[in-house]
Amino acid sequence: MATTSVSTGSNIDVAGIVSQLMTLEQRPLAKLTTKEASYQAKLSAYGSIKGALGSFQTTVSGLSDISKFQALNATTSDSSVATVSAAPTAVTGTYSLDVTKLAQAQKLATIGKASDTAAIGTGASTTLTFDFGSIAIGGGSFDPVTGKYTGASFTSNGNGTKTVTIDATNNSLQGIRDAINSAKIGVTATLVNDGTATPYRLALSSDSIGNSNSIKISVAGDATLGTLLAHDPGTAPASGTQNLAETVTAQNAEFKVNGIFVSKASNTITDAIQGVTLSLLKAPTTAPATVTVARDTSKASASVAGFVKAYNDLNTTLKNASAYDPTTKKGAVLQGDSTVRTLQTQVRAVLNTPISSTGGSFTNLSQIGVSFQKDGTLALDSTKLNTAISNNFSDIAALFATVGKASDSLVAYNSVTTSTKQGSYAINVGTLATQGSNIGNVDLNAAAPITIAPGTTINATLDGISASVALAAGTTYTSSQLAAMIQSAINGTSAFSVLGSSVAATINAVSGLMTLTSSRYGSASTISMTDGTGTPVANFGMGGAGTLGVDVAGTIDGVAATGSGQFLTATAGDATGLKIQINGGATGARGKVNYSQGYAYALNQLSTSLLANNGLLDTATKGINSSITDIGKQRDALNVRLADTQTRLTKQYSTLDTMLSSMGSTMNYLSQQLAKLP
């Protein structure tokens, strides 16, 4: 029987079959990819929300500053006379300004020298001591031709003396100039060539303007340098210690505000008109200029509008990330997300909570024209806002910023901590702070003229720090001059000045007793003196430890507070962390301090917590990232399984292919054999 011949090889497409089977096996992998893409989209949406919340926080953080809502405008009718600016503490109104003198610094010049590089004197180590103070002519006079005073007196301003050392390395005019400038003592030295036979003159200028910053120079060491540089305007020119010529006289700025005469040692005046800074530019004025201080309502209005916009921008981002679109019938990637709902709820809860402790006219946003709309946005009624600003300008800030306000003018709000809760806290002062002081027991009026020998020092202890203090030698000190010199010497000692410690020295006009008083308040405030070298301290009547300062003591909200100097700090209760300053007044009840945390402050705090590590958004994104990580692990495991499956299927179908091929060969053989049978 004839048979049909078949192929000796297999007709199975192993690769194609395995490929089709693997396509089915890989369907779970595609589902994982789709799920991962969904998670990545959520992460992107959360990133947008974080960015929007960060921008919102930046805006509200800026609005936590009270100055954003209490700005004042200051203008002048003649900007060539002065420029003006106003702080929130200024009082609105108009002021007349009539300037007669501008403040200026004293300038001195030495006699001329033929060379600016030649050595002056022997080169022996010489100390130049600079003191700064005021020159009183009294019944004397000043000669503008010679630049010398007759019958005048010099009184130190008590801010401390400064020294410069001259020796063989710098005892030329150039060297002296460079030494003074390098020492940075408040004096600028230059060289001027006047064109004469001895043209080189050393010119000195006080860096501080005003008539209390004139210069006195004492020279200890080389006599030739003393002849050139020693300068005491309180001595007669003939005595040889008024060796420089005054080329420009120090003077205060003199002007009138509303007809009241004012003298200040600067052309920038911050305390003539409360809260107003005057920068004087020209004198004398031909006619008084008018300074006007008015509320900057535009800045407050812009701040509120900025707040509304910042919230609406955040709300738009949240809505776009979570809303359902009825047109496309599709929801946003975070539709129904609990994190977004919680964030929206917390922000709106803050805005719907009244600020109850402002102590002002407003407790909620609707009172100034800010209200929620049906779509969840905020709307601003500009008319209502402008009315609120006009009628209660100072109260707008309390709705937004952190505000502390005391009812007593001598009680000042200072600061709070994160532990302080908003509220109204009663203040009661049991003890007022005092300064450390030391009162002498010698009538220095009767002891004058007083002599201080060269090389005299005292040992002073000021605010717990001890140092040796060098006194300026002299033979004709009055009691007031002695007090000014001691004050200047102590205040000029670096061990004290670097710490901001200083003293005030005064003489009782009746008893002649000297009193030294530390500028610091509280139990750390001390001042005492002991002998050094030269004149004994007993000669000033200043022996003894003096009287220690006392810290303020009292209660805040009925709870004992911690006193340090003039500052009271609450350490318990809702007021914990509230710090106030008691600037005098009486003991007993001192009114209340109202502390409020406005909407901007509260939203800034909320934003910080929402954006913090382990905060609401961080927790949500960590959860998504964890899910993405799990998907990665599932994908890796699935890929391993798929690889194993593909290997298994390939092997199985390859074996089948081989078997079928073998069977085909056998069939061909049998067919051939059968064909040979008879």
Residue 641 has pLDDT above 90, yes or no: no
For residue 647, is pLDDT > 50?
Answer: yes
pLDDT of residue 271: 92
pLDDT of residue 357: 67
pLDDT tens profile 255-280: 999 999 999 999 999 999 999 999 99
pLDDT at 6: 38
Statement to judge: residues 128 and 242 lie in one domain: yes
With a cut of 50, say whether residue 459 has pLDDT above it: yes
Q: Is the pLDDT of residue 8 over 70?
A: no
Instruction: Looking at the structure, tell me whether residues 519 and 656 fall in a common domain.
Output: no
The SS3 of residue 83 is: strand
Quote the pLDDT of residue 5. 37
Instruction: Answer whether residue 360 shows pLDDT above 80.
Output: no
The whole domain housing 341 covers 1-69+303-401+602-678
Q: Per-residue pLDDT averaged across 480-485, rounded?
A: 90
pLDDT of residue 413: 93
**Higher pLDDT, residue 475 or 524:** 524
Residues 308 and 205 in one domain: no
Contact 379, 51 (CB under 8 A): no
Question: Domain check: are 456 and 505 in the same one?
Answer: yes
Same domain, 416 and 557: yes
Please check the confidence at residue 555 and state whether its pLDDT lies above 50: yes
Provide the 3-class DSSP secondary structure of residue 159. Answer: coil
Going by pLDDT thresholds of 50, 70 and 90, the confidence category of residue 359 is: low
pLDDT, greater one: 318 or 356: 318
In a domain, residue 585? The reply is: yes
Q: What residues does 278 pair with on adjacent strands?
A: 84, 269
Query: 428: which 2 tokens?
Result: 């009661």
If 0-12 CB within 10 Å is exposed, 13-18 middle and 19+ buried, where does residue 199 land?
A: middle
347-383 burial, b if ≥16 CB within 10 A, otherwise e? Answer: beeebeeebebbbbebbbbebbbbbbeeeeebebeee
- What percentage of the chain carries pLDDT values higher than 90? 56
pLDDT of residue 95: 96
Residue 409 lies in a domain: yes
Cβ-based burial of 584 (10 A; exposed 0-12, middle 13-18, buried ≥19): exposed
CATH number at residue 503: 2.60.40
411 & 461 share domain: no
- The pLDDT of residue 582 is 97
Please, what is the average pLDDT of the chain?
Answer: 89
Q: Are residues 260 and 162 in the same domain?
A: no
Residues 491, 518, single domain; the answer is: yes
32 vs 343, more confident = 343
Same-domain pairing of 314 and 261: no
- Please list, in sequence order, all residues whose beta carbon lies within 8 angstroms of the beta carbon of residue 63, skipping any fewer than 6 positions away: 69, 303, 306, 307, 400, 401, 600
Cα→Cα distances 93→290, 539, 621, Å: 10, 54, 56
Number of folded domains that form the chain:
5
Whether 396 is in a domain gets the answer yes
Coil vs helix vs strand at 38: helix
Per-residue pLDDT tens over the stretch 62-109: 887 777 787 888 999 999 999 999 988 888 899 999 999 999 999 999
Task: Enter the tokens of residue 481.
Answer: 């001059």
Of the ranges 176-180, 439-443, 472-476, which one carries the lowest mean pLDDT score?
A: 472-476
The first and second tokens of residue 551, run together, are 């810290």
> Using 50, 70 and 90 to split pLDDT, how confident is the model at 4?
very low
Categorize the per-residue pLDDT at 177 as very low, low, confident or very high, splitting at 50, 70 and 90.
Answer: very high
Judged by average pLDDT, the poorest of 33-47, 120-134, 500-514, 527-541 is: 33-47
Q: C-alpha 305: how far from its chain's center?
A: 27
